[in-house]
Amino acid sequence: MTTFLGMPTVAPQGVGSLHAEQPFPVAARTALGNTQLRHNIGFATQTIRAKRAAVVGELPDWEQLRLAGEAIKTDVMARLPELLVQLEERVTAAGGTVHWARDANEANAIVAALVEATGAHEVVKIKSMATQEIGLNEALAEHGITAHETDLAELIVQLGGDRPSHILVPAIHRNRAEIREIFLRAMPGVRPDLPDDPPQLAEAARSYLRQKFLSAKVAISGANFAIAETGTVAVVESEGNGRMCLTLPEVLITVMGIEKLLPTFKDLEVFLQLLPRSSTGERMNPYTSMWTGVTEGDGPREFHLVLLDNGRTSVLADEAGRSALHCIRCSACLNVCPVYERVGGHAYGSVYPGPIGAVLTPQLTGVKENPSLPYASTLCGACFDACPVRIDIPSMLVHLRAEAVRAKGMTVERTVFAAAAWTMRSPVRFAMAERLSRLGRLLGRRRDRISRLPWPLSGWTAARDLPRPPRRSLRDWWRNR
């Protein structure tokens, strides 16, 4: 697919939180040196993993559910243009307004103009990956509008002047003592003797946020799902802050990636089983809010739905990589990933960390922008096993690694592999190479393996040993039998 609703595929502009300040290997090395971070993340991921395993194990039809989720999402991607038009029609018919944004700049400009039209200088926000992706809070600040995050973990990140490090638990890298210190420093009206006791920390946040909910005229949300058949938008969350944002303010603006569609209301049944079990390890999501346009006397009087592309049509155009758009942001792949568990989310330099970030970020920005991310994996396959919609992340990582190599042009690595391929294509050349390789026996005599090779092969031995070539090749052995 090269066009989307008659438009060319769209790559995002350099705005928002997809562009890393440092390549992954550099950032990961720094993160590995932070023992507190490793301890916090190790503890949190182990806990969520155990909860998830317990509730997934209860369902005898878990694999069938995963297959159903995969099939629905595959169908959505095959019919995305028509389903989006259907969604627009249904939302408009129900009294909402739909806006189309090609990239972060357009989406931010639309939201800022909508907020300015209300005369508000403050908005309340539900945790949303799409708005983080486009850097909406920073863009609104340029217009003199303050966005208050209302999800507890997101609030901790915002008050701490920090960046999220996990899709579901953005402050996973902080412990309770650090959170207390952030509240004392940055949350107005907190009592100075606030202890680092979790219920009391939550109570402090609740009192602070209550004022924001009651005074805000405008709320901004993301969306977990949108139903093309009915025009219904759904947000799932655990704290009830989302329900406050979705019902109290006069104006509601939802920014939604175009891939979040489901064809029919019935499809939601599958995802409302898959998502809570995979994300928080719960059987049922605590707060599931759904709304269709606007309703007289109930909830916001104005509803705006901003449909965000920001590189998604380019991902859709790539047949080998488009299933990354199936992601429902449950974060199960993060919690099982041995790389994520050791380096945490910041090392990925993107709003999308972990295995899904390692594929989605380079896909959204173009692999040239983030060439090191596809290598942020051991390819162990745990992410595929955990993914509720069966995204084959390991295969996509390999696909993106090939793209990254192609994008680099002729490198030493490519030259060496091209020479190896040329040698292996001819039995004569291969036999000669085998004989020549025996010269390598001069190296590594002491330990029977080679720990250091001269340039250009030094890159190989920088991270691993090479077995010493055998005295006799398989062909020689065969010939002599």
Residues lying near ligand SF4 in the complex (CB under 6 A) are found at 278, 327-333, 356, 386-389, 391
Q: How far is CA 316 from CA 11, 42, 422, in A?
A: 11, 34, 35
CB 236 within 8 A of CB 288: yes
Q: Which is nearer to ligand SF4, 244 or 327 (CB)?
A: 327
Q: Which is nearer to ligand SF4, 75 or 476 (CB)?
A: 75
Q: Which is nearer to ligand SF4, 73 or 212 (CB)?
A: 73
Shortest Cβ distance from residue 327 to ligand SF4 (Å)?
3
Phi, psi (5° rounding) for residue 215?
A: -100, -15
Phi, psi (5° rounding) for residue 345?
A: -80, -30
Q: What angle do CA 415, 359, 86 make, to 5 degrees?
A: 135
Shortest Cβ distance from residue 172 to ligand SF4 (Å)?
14
Q: Which is nearer to ligand SF4, 27 or 356 (CB)?
A: 356
Nearest to 131 by CA among 217, 17, 44: 17
Tell me the residue type at 353: P
Q: Which is nearer to ligand SF4, 52 or 99 (CB)?
A: 52
3-state secondary structure of 335: helix
Q: Is 402 left (phi over 0), alpha (psi -120 to 50) or beta?
A: alpha
- CA 141 centroid distance within chain: 24
Shortest Cβ distance from residue 330 to ligand SF4 (Å)?
4
Q: Which is nearer to ligand SF4, 308 or 330 (CB)?
A: 330
Q: Which is nearer to ligand SF4, 211 or 378 (CB)?
A: 378
Shortest Cβ distance from residue 231 to ligand SF4 (Å)?
24
CA torsion angle 321 323 325 326 (round to 10): -170
Q: Which is nearer to ligand SF4, 135 or 276 (CB)?
A: 276
CB 262 within 8 A of CB 225: yes
d(C-alpha 99, C-alpha 303), whole Å: 11
Q: How is residue 44 written in tokens?
A: 């949190």
Shortest Cβ distance from residue 358 to ligand SF4 (Å)?
10
Shortest Cβ distance from residue 151 to ligand SF4 (Å)?
17
Q: How is residue 151 written in tokens?
A: 């999800």
3-state secondary structure of 188: coil
3-state secondary structure of 219: strand
Shortest Cβ distance from residue 394 to ligand SF4 (Å)?
11
Residues in the chain: 481
CB 356 within 8 A of CB 394: no
Shortest Cβ distance from residue 407 to ligand SF4 (Å)?
23
Q: Which is nearer to ligand SF4, 183 or 271 (CB)?
A: 271
Tell me the residue type at 101: A
Strands 251-257 and 218-221: parallel
Q: Which is nearer to ligand SF4, 49 or 143 (CB)?
A: 49
Shortest Cβ distance from residue 360 to ligand SF4 (Å)?
8
Shortest Cβ distance from residue 357 to ligand SF4 (Å)?
9
Number of other residues whose CB lies within 10 A of the CB of residue 247: 15
